[in-house]
Amino acid sequence: MEMFDTYVLTRLSLDSDGNVTSRNVGVTLDIHEAERHREADAANDFQIFTVSADWRDDAEQTALVKAMREFRAMVRQWQEEALR
């Protein structure tokens, strides 16, 4: 299975209580763009995630499974209502 890296661009910031938090500010497939983001400010960084090249197929499969589960729940509700 072919895999590729994605780079989630992050930035450290202070919340309203003064706590340091890391926020996701973007995603890129380009290592050079991720490195430029990191070098632009000391608060910037990025995280690397490996993603399957057929992620679209995986997303479609997940959407189908969710739809089937929702339909199953509706049928179960209809059956329970019919038995009352």
Q: pLDDT tens per residue, the chain (84 residues)?
A: 788 899 999 999 998 899 999 999 999 999 999 999 999 999 999 999 998 888 788 888 899 999 999 999 999 999 999 988
Q: Are 61 and 32 members of one domain?
A: no
Q: Are 4 and 31 members of one domain?
A: yes
Q: Which are the contacts of 38, defined by CB distance < 8 A and separation ≥ 6?
A: 44, 45, 46
Tokens describing residue 36: 């430029």
Q: Are 47 and 30 members of one domain?
A: yes
Q: Are 5 and 36 members of one domain?
A: yes
Q: Are 27 and 8 members of one domain?
A: yes
Number of separate domains in the chain: 2
Q: Are 77 and 47 members of one domain?
A: no
Domain assignment of residue 47, given as a range: 1-53
pTM of the model: 0.62
